[in-house]
Chain A
Amino acid sequence: MQVAAFLICFPFIAAVVLALMKKHGKPRKYVVFGSSALIVAAMLYFVIGLLSSGKAVEYLENTHTIDLIMLIGEIFLMCLVVFLSFRHKKYYAALLSVVQTGLIAWLDLSGADETEKFHIYADKLTVVMCLIIGIVGTMICVYAVGYMKDYHSHHTEFKDRRSFFFAMLFVFLGAMFGLVLSSNLTWIYFFWEITSVCSFLLIGYNQSEQAINNSFKALWMNLLGGLGFALAIAYCSLVLHVSNLEELVTAKLAAGAVLIPVILLAFAGLTKSAQMPFSGWLLGAMVAPTPTSALLHSATMVKAGVYLLIRLAPAMCGNAAGFMVTTVGGFTFFVASLLAISQSDGKKVLAYSTISNLGLIAACAGIGMHEAVWAAMLLMMFHAVSKSMLFLSVGAVENRTGSRNIEDMHGLIVRLPGLAFIMIIGIAGMFLAPFGMLISKWAALKAFIDSNNILLVVFLVFGSASTLFYWTKWLGKLIAVPHQSGHLTNTTKVSQWFALITHAVIMIALVITFPLVSHSLVEPFLADMFHNTVPDIISTGNINIMLMMLCLIVILPVAARILTFGKKDTRVLSYMSGANAGDDRSFVDSFGNKKDLYLANWYMEDYFGENKLLKPSLILSSAAIVIVMVIAIGGAIG
């Protein structure tokens, strides 16, 4: 218990310390490393304790002080938002913030939410989340130490506010720990709001006009979700007299009555996980330095959204809330993967891929069946690690070569082999057999069919096809071997390498041990959640097949040697109709001059461009959400 409190509080203390360290240099570095190590250690201690004892439930007798602190915190956040919105003349954000904080404060002070239920709740899903936040999150902080130094030497036009930056990273981690450990809805809401405001501050780090606009976009969208959350809390405590998430989900209340808070919470989850009408904020988050993007996209923020959805899964099975989440999620999976095809900016492709994958996770959670939730959890784990890895390696490449455009990564395997390998592992982890994403997709597909949701099946098969397209063309750029292109000296810092390699190791370990992870973490959680023993989702035979594929990849270099009979290859230039000018990177044009070769991928803006697809899909998804919510809430009240 004390460990849980430590996990929540310590990052905030570290943040305060870092915020006060205005001078750059070694001390800050050591504070970041030390705090990260401490968080990882505490998290591991907590997780091991939890695994050996089963789940932990804690009811705190006297929470008035804590509640008061949270209330003060919320009011402080509101004041901050109001102040910043007035400064930047974005009054709508202030309005949203005031309304929801007012609502929660009124509930708190009127004492309407007094119930005798536990506050802290930790089960296997919490373990998974803690591992993701603890390891991936702290690795990103470690990476940021080296990265931010380079970032500011490349971008001298931005004000150096590094102490603030690191403080925010740790606040984020603390808030995430709080979010996944608490069970009281008001507590979750408090941490939920911290992550919203925190992401807003991190996105606006540069203080450039674009950064400020995008940060406000993130703010209002997340505050809208927060408003849904606040309304759900109000409804829960006033009508249902429930103050606890577990209770809400497992409640044997009339289906209609639970539907309203569930659909509101699901709405909040959709905004936070950047599903379709709200996808804009996550794309806008790209303007921030890479560690921010990595943190928002992998370990925190968006994972908070899908975490909530997974928690709600049993309550969404087969009702309007589930229908809303699956439809929007599936649609987002499909459209975001189409949109990713037309992007050449590496970070933007990653952003669309995040949105798309979260859509799949959300859709799985919305189905609410055990195999779908199984898929959702594994997708979440694999996605967190590989996406963080990809962001960090793109950031490192950008610092070295000055570009994060995929076209400029042509032949990266020759120029920066280390980073290219990390990136290849990350990309393979995102969509290729036998890596885990694919097996989760297998389970997801099975669940979609079993629940007879043909629409979702259609989204999934078409979405997978376009996912394949945009990842493979990126992979192709990395793997190209142009002759005589120089090897660049890798200036990536040791701290960055440490983070990258840790990610790669975790990724590979996860791929090998996923049956174990599924058996010891995911299946017990499901059994607990659905109150019965869960049948094997994936048969031993199929696991063996996956492992065989893995072995095949490992022995492939040997196989290649055998299949070519050890015949020695003769190197020639690539075929350019005989017009190569000495090497395979330039040719002789019709005037007899040497001309450089430029090989581009296909982006097909006319078919998959943002200006073609974005607007209609935003309208469609907004319409879907509004219609389902109106019908569901109207039906429940009437």
Chain B
Amino acid sequence: MLKVSKSPWLLHYDGSSCNGCDIEVLACLTPLYDVERFGIINTGNPKHADIFLITGGINKQNESVVKQIYSQMPNPKVVVAVGICACNGGVFKDCYNIMGGVDKVIPVDIYVPGCAARPESIMDGVVKAIALLDEKRKSVGKEAAE
């Protein structure tokens, strides 16, 4: 059965992360975890991506960037917040420049906590996001039909 979820391409964006989560995200691409076996490709381009994967919290500088990239992604799309900072700001929560988690600026579908989030949990989150993609595809189809 052909499904949108058979080919989830993701865009990885580093908010104000300490790079710990980023390294774990990239670890998923290595032979040990090999996410490409699910058809997942790290595209680096919002216009090709289905999953928006963000690490680190949102600050004043990247707020507009995150919003803009999100707006450039075609529907259906899913947002995954990876790491505790992306979920709610983490240890930087009370920093003068941090606004908080990703959900302060765009709607987040999946939260993957951890500091840093382990590759297994990141993949778990992405697989959940994939399931969501199919649901969203249906609703997008309905909207188009209406």
| Chain A contacts to B: CB under 8 angstroms | 570, 572-573, 575, 577-580, 588, 592
Which of these, B45, B61, B74, contacts A575 with CB under 8 Å?
B45
Q: How far is the CA of A580 from the CA of B64 in the complex (A)?
A: 9
Q: Are the C-beta atoms of A578 and B47 separated by less than 8 Å?
A: no
Q: How far is the CA of A570 from the CA of B66 in the complex (A)?
A: 19
Tell me if B106 counts as interface (CB < 8 A to partner A).
no
Q: Are the C-beta atoms of B74 and A580 separated by less than 8 Å?
A: no
Q: Count of A-B contacts with CB under 8 A?
A: 23
Q: Which chain B residue shows the least CB distance to A579?
A: B65
Q: Which residues of B contact A575 (CB under 8 A)?
A: 45-47, 72
Listed residue (B64, B68, B69) with the most chain A CB atoms within 10 angstroms of its CB: B68
Q: Are the C-beta atoms of A570 and B45 separated by less than 8 Å?
A: no
Interface residues of B: mostly helix, strand, loop or mixed?
helix
Q: How far is the CA of A578 from the CA of B65 in the complex (A)?
A: 5
Q: Which chain A residue shows the least CB distance to B47?
A: A575
Tell me if B19 counts as interface (CB < 8 A to partner A).
no
Q: Are the C-beta atoms of A578 and B68 separated by less than 8 Å?
A: yes
Q: How far is the CA of A570 from the CA of B47 in the complex (A)?
A: 12
Q: Which chain B residue shows the least CB distance to A592?
A: B61
Fill in one digit per residue for B54-67: 1 if any A CB lies within 8 Å of its CB, else 0: 00000001001110
13 A-B contacts (beta carbon < 8 Å): A572-B71, A572-B72, A575-B45, A575-B46, A575-B72, A577-B65, A578-B68, A578-B72, A579-B65, A579-B68, A580-B68, A588-B64, A592-B61
A581 to chain B, nearest CB (A): 9
Known: A570-B74, A572-B72. A578 touches B45 (CB 8 A): no
A53 to chain B, nearest CB (A): 65
Q: How far is the CA of A566 from the CA of B74 in the complex (A)?
A: 17
Looking at chain B, what size class is its interface with the partner chain?
10 to 19
| Apart from the given pairs A578-B68, A579-B68, 20 other A-B contacts in the complex at a CB distance below 8 Å | A570-B74, A572-B47, A572-B71, A572-B72, A573-B68, A573-B72, A575-B45, A575-B47, A575-B72, A577-B65, A578-B46, A578-B64, A578-B65, A578-B66, A578-B69, A578-B72, A579-B65, A580-B68, A588-B64, A592-B61
Q: How far is the CA of A588 from the CA of B71 in the complex (A)?
A: 17
Q: How far is the CA of A588 from the CA of B61 in the complex (A)?
A: 10
Please provide the chain B residues from 9 to 49 with a CB less than 8 Å away from any CB of chain A in the complex.
45-47
Q: How far is the CA of A575 from the CA of B47 in the complex (A)?
A: 8
Fill in one digit per residue for B65-94: 1 if any A CB lies within 8 Å of its CB, else 0: 110110110100000000000000000000
B4 to chain A, nearest CB (A): 16
Q: Which residues of B contact A573 (CB under 8 A)?
A: 68, 72
Interface residues of A: mostly helix, strand, loop or mixed?
loop
Q: Which residues of A contact B74 (CB under 8 A)?
A: 570
Q: How far is the CA of A333 from the CA of B121 in the complex (A)?
A: 63
Fill in one digit per residue for B89-107: 1 if any A CB lies within 8 Å of its CB, else 0: 0000000000000000000
Listed residue (B61, B72, B74) with the most chain A CB atoms within 10 angstroms of its CB: B72
Q: Which chain A residue shows the least CB distance to B72?
A: A572
Sort A-B residue pairs by CB-CB distance and give the 5 closest, nearest first: A578-B65, A578-B69, A578-B68, A572-B72, A575-B47
Q: Which residues of A contact B71 (CB under 8 A)?
A: 572
B9 to chain A, nearest CB (A): 15
Q: How far is the CA of A580 from the CA of B46 in the complex (A)?
A: 14
B45 to chain A, nearest CB (A): 7
Q: How far is the CA of A573 from the CA of B64 in the complex (A)?
A: 14
Q: How far is the CA of A575 from the CA of B65 in the complex (A)?
A: 11
Q: How far is the CA of A570 from the CA of B69 in the complex (A)?
A: 15
Q: Which chain A residue shows the least CB distance to B60?
A: A592
Q: How far is the CA of A572 from the CA of B64 in the complex (A)?
A: 15
Q: Which residues of A contact B69 (CB under 8 A)?
A: 578
B80 to chain A, nearest CB (A): 17
Q: How far is the CA of A573 from the CA of B72 in the complex (A)?
A: 7
Q: How far is the CA of A578 from the CA of B14 in the complex (A)?
A: 12
Q: How far is the CA of A394 from the CA of B73 in the complex (A)?
A: 39
Listed residue (A570, A572, A592) with the most chain B CB atoms within 10 angstroms of its CB: A572
Q: Which residues of A contact B65 (CB under 8 A)?
A: 577-579
Q: Which residues of A contact B68 (CB under 8 A)?
A: 573, 578-580
Q: How far is the CA of A570 from the CA of B77 in the complex (A)?
A: 15
Q: Which residues of B contact A580 (CB under 8 A)?
A: 68
B144 to chain A, nearest CB (A): 9
Q: How far is the CA of A580 from the CA of B74 in the complex (A)?
A: 18
Q: How far is the CA of A588 from the CA of B63 in the complex (A)?
A: 13
Q: Which residues of B contact A588 (CB under 8 A)?
A: 64
Q: Which residues of B contact A592 (CB under 8 A)?
A: 61
B92 to chain A, nearest CB (A): 21
B138 to chain A, nearest CB (A): 18
B60 to chain A, nearest CB (A): 10
B78 to chain A, nearest CB (A): 18
Q: Which residues of A contact B64 (CB under 8 A)?
A: 578, 588
Q: Which chain A residue shows the least CB distance to B45?
A: A575
Q: Which residues of B contact A577 (CB under 8 A)?
A: 65
